[in-house]
């Protein structure tokens, strides 16, 4: 286990956790022993009282005070150790699947691509320049209302954003068999512990401290809790949900070019796919999620590639992740628009989500999977950048043209 975890982070050391667990076992055994002594002494005192042996009873009572004091100290230490152990265990990431390569973010593996990179007889513009010239984004007023890196869509930009969201929800519900969900935007601490965001990434989530509620950074954190503390029937698996939510992330730090426009923002819209499956079917479901994310880009005619993340770049909860990255010619690089992950039973164990096998065997933990299909901010940028014309207008893909009722923006 430790060797496999070190594929993600060479600094992971399970020795302190194992030492805490050993101390927990020792303290628990001692607490049980002292509890037994108290019970035996109480029975003996009652017997001595019946026999009229007051002196012996009083001596035993004095002895029992020492046992009670030690038990209190042992149980207090046991509670502290259990809290420390739980925090340490919750901070551990998932174990990478054997098919995940070693390496860091820069060493992801390109699996395939679709379509051709659009070629231009001019220098392609950044989506910010295109969007602002066409009146699709108003970043200055958004910054005045809220602050930097909170976008505001205007005019046909707002219409395009809503049209894409509605179309993707319908696509996944009607053609891919997902149950639509519009979940709350806020969630409680237990929900974020189940999803794996807490405790490690608590500082990256926007909080409402007075209510002990937190703004959703991704609908995955909400959908994984739909069946928390439930037992599902194997016959009802897979459970497949699609949700639209605005997502909120602090995104602390400076990112240079990524900080411009819609690439790395504090608020964005996303359609999320989520599945609960059996362990035997989860990796087939992962491939299904990726194909469904790809279907969105293919119908929009956008060039993209698919990459396999190495162990050092996996999210806390993921055992394996496959990204779909769209090409942005205004920046000459690919950006992730969908990240599809199999979390195996990592989240299910945290959320106590199990299923009853059809053959009547003992309860088993489900596997949970998630994937964006898609996040609209970078999708919006890709539609503009891949379909721009030299005069600054954008020739919309046929599907988008049909959604907006116009073939060209500008």
Is 123 in the active site? no
Closest C-alpha among 403, 373, 401, 353 to residue 176: 373
SS3 183: coil
In angstroms, the Cα distances linking 152 to 251, 257, 377 are 18, 19, 11
Backbone φ and ψ of 13, nearest 5°: -135, 115
Residues 6 or more apart whose CB falls under 8 angstroms from that of 249 comprise 204, 205, 206, 217, 266
Q: How many helices (H) and strands (E) does the chain have?
A: 12, 16
Collapsing DSSP states into helix, strand and coil, what is residue 229?
coil
SS (H, E, C) 305-366: EEEECCHHHCCCCCCEEEEEEEEECCCCEEEEEEEEEECCCHHHHHHCCEEECCCCCCCEEC
Which entry of 195, 339, 372, 377 is annotated as an active-site residue?
A: 339
C-beta of residue 187 within 8 angstroms of C-beta of residue 221: yes
Distance, CA of 114 to chain centre: 27
Closest alpha carbon to 344 in 88, 99, 15: 99
- Whether 112 is catalytic: no
Q: Known catalytic residue: 336?
A: yes
161, 272, 336, 385: which is the annotated catalytic residue? 336
159 catalytic? Reply is no
Closest to 34 measured CA to CA, from 86, 71, 83, 60: 71
Task: Give me the catalytic one of 7, 8, 71, 378.
Answer: 378
The whole-angstrom separation of Cα 174 and Cα 137 is 31
Token match 């005619």: residue?
301
Among 7, 149, 239, 249, the one annotated catalytic = 249
Determine whether 250 is an active site residue: no
Among residues 20, 71, 264, 350, the one annotated as catalytic is 264
Q: Which residues are catalytic?
A: 249, 264, 336, 339, 378
């Amino acid at each position: 286990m430790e060797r496999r975890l070190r594929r993600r982070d060479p600094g992971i050391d399970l020795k302190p956790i194992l030492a805490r667990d050993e101390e927990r076992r020792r303290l628990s055994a001692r607490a049980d022993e002292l509890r037994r002594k108290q019970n035996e002494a109480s029975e003996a005192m009652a017997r001595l009282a019946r026999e009229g042996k007051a002196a012996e009873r009083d001596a035993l009572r004095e002895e029992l005070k020492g046992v009670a004091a030690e038990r209190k100290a042992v149980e207090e230490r046991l509670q502290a150790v259990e809290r420390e152990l739980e925090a340490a265990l919750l901070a551990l990431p998932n174990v990478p699947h054997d098919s995940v390569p070693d390496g860091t973010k820069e060493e992801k593996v390109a699996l395939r691509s679709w379509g051709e990179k659009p070629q231009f007889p001019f220098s392609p513009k950044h989506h910010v320049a295109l969007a602002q010239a066409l009146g699709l984004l108003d970043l200055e007023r958004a910054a005045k209302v809220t602050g930097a890196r909170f976008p505001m869509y205007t005019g046909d930009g707002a219409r395009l954003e809503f049209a894409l969201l509605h179309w993707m929800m319908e696509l996944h519900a009607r053609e891919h068999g997902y149950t639509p969900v519009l979940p709350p935007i806020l969630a409680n601490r237990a929900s974020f512990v189940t999803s794996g965001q807490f405790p490690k990434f608590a500082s990256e989530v926007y909080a409402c401290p007075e209510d002990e509620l937190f703004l959703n950074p991704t609908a995955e954190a909400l959908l994984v809790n739909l069946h928390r503390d439930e037992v599902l029937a194997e016959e009802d698996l897979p459970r497949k949900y699609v949700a639209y939510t605005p997502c909120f992330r602090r995104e602390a730090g400076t990112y240079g070019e990524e900080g411009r426009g819609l690439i790395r923002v504090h608020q964005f819209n996303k359609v999320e796919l989520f599945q609960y499956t059996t362990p035997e079917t989860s990796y087939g479901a992962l491939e299904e999620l990726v194909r469904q994310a790809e279907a969105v880009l293919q119908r929009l005619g956008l060039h993209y590639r698919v990459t396999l993340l190495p162990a050092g770049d996996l999210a806390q909860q993921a055992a394996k992740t496959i990204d779909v990255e769209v090409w942005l010619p205004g920046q000459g690089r690919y950006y992730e628009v969908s990240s599809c992950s199999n979390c195996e039973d990592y989240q299910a164990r945290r959320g106590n989500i199990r299923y009853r096998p059809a053959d009547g065997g003992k309860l088993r933990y489900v596997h949970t999977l998630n994937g964006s299909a898609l996040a609209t901010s970078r999708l919006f940028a890709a539609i503009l950048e891949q379909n721009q014309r030299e005069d600054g207008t954008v020739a919309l893909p046929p599907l988008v043209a049909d959604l907006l009722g116009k073939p060209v923006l500008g």
